[in-house]
Amino acid sequence: MINSYLTYLAQTKGLSAQTLKSYRNNLSQLQDWLQAHGIELLTANSDCIQNYISHLNQDGKSTSTIKQSASTIRGFYRWAKHRGISVDDRIRYVETPKLRNSNQRIYGDIDFVSVSKDNEINGNIRCMIVLMRCLGLRISEVLALRKSDIDKTTHTITIHGKGSKDRSVYYSEPVKQYLNSNITSSKDLLFDYEDRKARYEIWLALSKHTSNKACNPHSLRHRFATSLIDNGARLTTVQRLMGHSSIATTEHYLHLADHSIRADFENTCYNI
């Protein structure tokens, strides 16, 4: 049944292999836990799932990990119900630990200017960091970039996002100059990096310029979103630039931002 669900997601949602692997792990771990308690995956009720969530919490899993697992589980049972399988509808109401309001603090003390000018950091890695911070890109989107995606006339880049959804984002003159100075590959693909290696090297680079070792590459994308909102960008603008399919995802950043209203993206300045 798990395989059928993942096949459905791959065919209809266009999820990456890494995301599907994460979903498989979440569901397989749930299935193993349920079977250890004599319960089958499709006969589990909301109490079973709530107990499993509590088990993850007691096992020391992070709040974000638990929330991700719970989201996968809800999606699986929702899919099963739509297929006509009798499942406990109350599973969608299972509770998860609340994230601290300061959960985005991990990027707060990163000296981004120092990172972008640190010549000891590989030039390609610095370029990736600049693109993630200044354009709000996911690391998977950065690694998929090609020179042919860059329109130098309109100062836009076509981003190949999640679910095979493309979007155009603007880039500033400083970003253009930075790319021209650091991109030296003759290939169309901008960065010839394996995902895990890129994540690790970006983490190492960020760690040099922050006292908080919990920083991670995705925190650059979060900082991009809150910078837009702090500078008065409309939520729909942020949604489009971030590539969010739902405005509800974008609204998550509202409680992190300073709500002074000034200008939209074109008036937002990034110093690198």
Kindly list the catalytic residues. 138, 162, 218, 221, 244, 253
Cα(188)–Cα(71) distance, rounded to whole angstroms? Answer: 37
For 199, the token pair is: 């994540």
Q: Which residues pair with 195 in a beta bridge?
A: none
Cα(58)–Cα(56) distance, rounded to whole angstroms? Answer: 6
SS (H, E, C) 152-166: CCCCEEEEECHHHCE
Residue 253 CB-density burial (10 A; 0-12 exposed, 13-18 middle, 19+ buried): buried
Cα(136)–Cα(151) distance, rounded to whole angstroms? Answer: 18
